[in-house]
Structure 1
Amino acid sequence: MSGMITEELKAKAEYYYGDEKCQEKSKFLLQEVGLPRGLLPLKDIIECGYVEETGFVWLKQKKKIEHCFEKIGKLVSYAPEITAFVEKGKIKKLTGVKTKELLLWVTLNEISLDEPHNEKLVCKTSAGLFRTFPASAFELQEDLNKKEQEQQQPPISN
């Protein structure tokens, strides 16, 4: 797996070290492609990188973590190394992310927004199975708070 991130690849990439910088960059990238910023709740990120020309992304964290998305009651496992290709509204060829379905861990390989509404995330496995969840379940709390405040503001009229 970790053979994918070669020095050759790094030569074409924008990459960073350290948890704080990588948290900031990974959330920014998710936002740029229109996905919820809470989709990759990693801890202790050591390194992250992005190759703009291909959309290839990698994230390395100190150890595997599990995160429960409370709103949908889903337990997700994130490996020490995660790789993917990102594009507008979609994460493809995802590695290192599994979700618990009944008693089994299932590997996810694609996450995308439903077109045209972009209110749901479709999570697919390599076997072609998929589940749909509200995109809001993966939002950061601060982003949800901001959206709520914006909706409560009366429109400015001239």
Structure 2
Amino acid sequence: MSLVTEEIKASASEMYYGDEICQEKSKFLLTEMGLPNGLLPLKDIEECGYVKETGFVWLKQKKKSEHRFEKIGKPVQYATEVTAYVEPNRIKKLTGVKTKELLLWITLSEIYVDDPPTGKITFKTPAGLFRSFPVSAFEIEEDVKEGKGVEGDKEVKGKEEVEGDKKVKGAVGVKGKEAVEVKEV
């Protein structure tokens, strides 16, 4: 049964359809709330919405997915519908997210980042059990979108911005492990 009713959808401040825009908006909202942008790595998101007055957020994906956070070695399952109430540095009343601890899948109900920042993020269960990890384990290091980016240690070429017949001056990219500036051609 869906927690997102037609009434909630009608009161939504923002509502989007399609994976690309929902990925972008969910990462933006997490960042805006002071949370790591890689916290909800859902796949094939069909719908997302946000009710600004209450902080209610929902994300619907085609099928449940599993993601392994490599830096902490933890697998996490995401149901087809993930809902929560967000506020600065905190996600409350979270539904649709479970993590594996030993051999059991444990439901998560709250996530928060320490304020003032200590570099730790804490995950709580409905029973009050909790575990903290480094915030950096949930950050997505985004490649440079214009110019050149980097994938591992390999150079990759992205889109080039063009003004008239010239490439845009000053775009920054990465070559190997060094930052490089793209000169006007």
Return the TM-score normalized by structure 2: 0.75
**Unpaired runs of 5+ in structure 1?**
150-158
Alpha-carbon deviation of 1:118? 4.5
Deviations 1:40-97 (A, max 9, x none): 0010000000000000000000011110000000100000000000000000000000
Amino acid at match of 1:11: A
Instruction: Measure, in 1, the Cα distance between the counterparts of 2:17 and 2:142.
Output: 25
| 1:9-28 mapped onto 2 (5 Å cutoff) | 9-13=8-12, 14-28=14-28
Show structure 2 runs of 5+ residues with no match.
Answer: 144-148, 150-173, 175-185
Q: Which has the higher contact order (CA 8 A, sep 6+)?
A: 1
Count matched residues: 145
**Equivalent residue for 2:42?**
42
CA distance in 2, matches of 1:48, 1:101: 28
After superposing on structure 2, the runs of 4+ consecutive aligned residues of structure 1 that deviate more than 3 Å are none
- Give TM-score scaled by structure 1 length: 0.88
Query: Are residues 70 and 119 of structure 1, via their aligned partners in 2, closer, same or farther at CA, if it must alter by over 3 Å?
Result: same
Kindly, what percent of the aligned residue pairs are identical? 73
Larger Rg belongs to: 2
Shift of 1:5: 1.1
CA distance in 2, matches of 1:20, 1:70: 24
Cα RMSD between the aligned structures? 1.7
Structure that is richer in helix per residue = 1
**C-alpha distance in structure 1 between counterparts of 2:118 and 2:67, whole Å:** 23
